Structure 1
């Protein structure tokens, strides 16, 4: 079979699209302002909220689990040192990295909705049993549960991306996608102070796992019943809204054969694509900076404020700002697209704000007076808040490059980026040998700032906003083969 080259594919891209109007009727669009797609995105938002709550709660629970005497002398603790605490925090990602790519593949060929519901159900169960197994078998049992949670929650981002590619029209992509992914910040915002108060209450740290685990179980049951893999599979969506979404995405199937056909994933073309590689670098940079701050900020605040209850509040404040800023940033992104700005320019501008803003803020941490930590909170808030631009920057860019394989791409880039999330807390553990030493923490912040800067620089230079030719690889390949045959017959 003749190999398909990029230049040949460009010539035939127009012929591979379904035969339909390139634009959606304004009347049809107006009649579908609010519909079932918004309910689906709301469910995705709640899923992200609960998923991140399960992750983040451990960042708060780890402090009293290591030494409950700081909050409640009647609650059992395990006497873990800093290295053991970082081991627990990173163990989630050991399982998370293993099932990333399989999750993206399964979501693409089977059902992102069902896979996500099942994965979150199992993750919630493991979270609920955590206090019991910790009491019985201590650190090894906690590590097993955390690895299991990573294995089962790895489907979260690939499934959300797969579902968004089928539910979010391009003109609403930044807003709907940002709203769904803003659940990560909302979950962080909820989990940190709630976990802090629960840990300091008479219920103690075990209640953190009971409450958030139960929420995950309830959500998974609701999503299994009310969620849908696509508009075509939704039980009660209106014909108008379905037509609006499918016309916008140009995904109406012309016959039963095409409807049941599964596209072959273009692995080689994906892995050798410069925009995808730049996207992967940006994702790794984001994970390093984001997870360094997210997992270590409670320990930093506890060592500074000497109050586990208030450390949760202070640690949550930056994520409140990030959550709030995500909405105007997504609106401006869609507005810029509506006014004719290219997708690539919009994504790169949003990502520059999200990466270089925090890089500058973290670089100034060394100037914070050691006896005035209010400025540290201000800088953390700026660094995390501006990172909201990443939601309509590199994160949505997966769908821009390849709507057909957005979930698979997310699983690949997130798999690689998860390795940085594993390494980052371990590096912090090596650098910060004394949690009260501000200068050791400044080294951590300098490293995060440098990685933010370099990651975005590569994304700006090599990133793209257009659909890549291999998105319709099989159709392009078939058309190229037919073209070669026609030439041979003519000769």
Structure 2
């Protein structure tokens, strides 16, 4: 449809390619979602009663620079797990309980991944994503109320609800990119949009540290980030749409360009039902799941537990912890663009295939960070060395956005939402396991105990990387477009379901009575 009237005038006066508008608001969406996801990692250090240094094992903990400072006066309240420090509520939750609370978000996050992908494909990414983040924003703003009335139980429940809202975010964005972004631009858009997670990881801890310093009320952290998420939702609803062909302000030139270069732009016929029986038998997809598990195991350990390591082991104060926790993600964000530009350049120049590029940057974002994480664990109480090595580890993780994160669009552009949901939903189970496991492995918060936790990260990152190098793929799979690719030799599981009637155009599609390769 050609733009006319006021839409044409507005488009010519303020011409911005609408895929870039989507990209910028996508960046802010991921930034908001991650500030709300990770803010508890900082806040919980001020919500709980800190154990005294005398409880630790001598020689296995770092000296506390503030040991000789004035001691806080604590008043225990009978029959409660709460202690008052400078007028703020603190709770006597042990390390295992804290790990359980930090993992609560991922219980909801895992459960809504696949439904979120299906909803995005059925109703469009705009509303699936927007309403999901709105739910998370409201729940975040209500977190202090939930803790006041429900304690640890209330916090666990509200964090699960926050996870419910964020579950559809990644599959919806993968689907939106498959609809809006040409293959030659996907690494850069992937870095821009999903790099918003690092913006959230930068500002989440840093702003939290500022709000919590000098005795600040920990509830303010949740109010600020929840409010920002609600404001973002208003802009998203007004400016973004699920497909180029449904956008009222897109230029004719951009629409024509996208319809020509993006197979899933919305110009083509509606999709057949999701081929679950083929998806569940797809080796490249399961290998992608393994690679995603490896990355998430390392990444979630860092975003969830690194603030505790800085605070409890290296003995940074809360403001310093916020700054130190932000620095690795600044490096990761910058490097994600460097790696994305290199990957797109090499693919465009045909120096290597898409599949080879995905394997290169999966290795960059898995095995290389694993080495730096282990080196950091052996740096002991050398603060500068530890922080520098953690920064290096997260910098190389920036290659993830040019590899595993967007690989679902390569192997299944038509079902990118469902496949991304499947991959990320299973991989996100790491977010349930790792905080609780770290809590169990580090009951005394000693350097030796943390080293064991980091060795588990190393093993998972390197092991899953090897699996992906051997069996990973960057090619569209046959089941993503069976009319184009046909059935593979030896397929014995019957025909895939076909959509019978296009109700809008009254087109009847033929139904496969048998596998095209059947010899009957």
TM-score (norm 1): 0.87
Give 1:404 shift: 0.6
Separation of aligned partners in 2, 1:196 and 1:120: 24
Question: 2:377–2:386: 8 Å Cα contact kept in structure 1?
Answer: no
Aligned: 1:285 with 2:267: no
In the alignment, which of 426, 434, 437 is matched to residue 424 of structure 1? 434
Aligned: 1:226 with 2:239: yes
Aligned: 1:48 with 2:30: yes
Deviations 1:113-149 (A, max 9, x none): 1111111111111111111221122111111100111
Aligned: 1:316 with 2:326: yes
Separation of aligned partners in 2, 1:409 and 1:191: 29
Separation of aligned partners in 2, 1:95 and 1:480: 38
Tell me the residue number matched to 2:311: 302
Separation of aligned partners in 1, 2:85 and 2:226: 22
Separation of aligned partners in 2, 1:484 and 1:97: 35
Tell me the residue number matched to 1:12: none
Separation of aligned partners in 2, 1:290 and 1:486: 44
Separation of aligned partners in 2, 1:113 and 1:279: 26
Local SS of the residue matching 1:265: coil
Tell me the residue number matched to 1:434: 444
Aligned: 1:193 with 2:206: yes
Give 1:366 shift: 4.5
Tell me the residue number matched to 1:332: 342
Local SS of the residue matching 1:76: strand
Cα distance change of structure 1 residues 484 and 355 upon mapping to structure 2, 3 Å threshold: closer
Cα distance change of structure 1 residues 316 and 485 upon mapping to structure 2, 3 Å threshold: closer
Aligned: 1:269 with 2:269: no
Tell me the residue number matched to 2:501: none
Question: 1:90–1:425: 8 Å Cα contact kept in structure 2?
Answer: yes
Tell me the residue number matched to 2:400: 390
> Which consecutive residues of structure 2, in runs of 5 or more, have no partner in the other structure?
1-14, 51-71, 75-83, 487-494, 499-509
In the alignment, which of 173, 189, 192 is matched to residue 186 of structure 2? 173
Give 1:450 shift: 1.1
Deviations 1:64-88 (A, max 9, x none): 1113869961212222221121111
Q: Which has the higher helix share?
A: 1
Tell me the residue number matched to 1:461: 470
Separation of aligned partners in 1, 2:368 and 2:114: 31
- What root-mean-square deviation, in Å, do the aligned CA atoms of Structure 1 and Structure 2 show? 2.4
Give 1:200 shift: 1.5
Question: 1:108–1:162: 8 Å Cα contact kept in structure 2?
Answer: yes
Separation of aligned partners in 2, 1:347 and 1:311: 34
Separation of aligned partners in 2, 1:287 and 1:253: 32
Give 1:34 shift: 5.7
Aligned: 1:346 with 2:357: yes
Residue-pair matches, total = 451
In the alignment, which of 84, 106, 122 is matched to residue 135 of structure 2? 122
Deviations 1:276-325 (A, max 9, x none): 11100000011111011111111110011241110111111111100011
Local SS of the residue matching 2:86: coil
Question: 1:117–1:221: 8 Å Cα contact kept in structure 2?
Answer: no
Question: 1:112–1:159: 8 Å Cα contact kept in structure 2?
Answer: yes
TM-score (norm 2): 0.83
Question: 1:263–1:474: 8 Å Cα contact kept in structure 2?
Answer: no
In the alignment, which of 123, 142, 146 is matched to residue 159 of structure 2? 146
Deviations 1:436-469 (A, max 9, x none): x111111111111111111111111101111111
Give 1:338 shift: 0.8
Question: 1:168–1:177: 8 Å Cα contact kept in structure 2?
Answer: no
Tell me the residue number matched to 2:81: none
Give 1:250 shift: 3.2
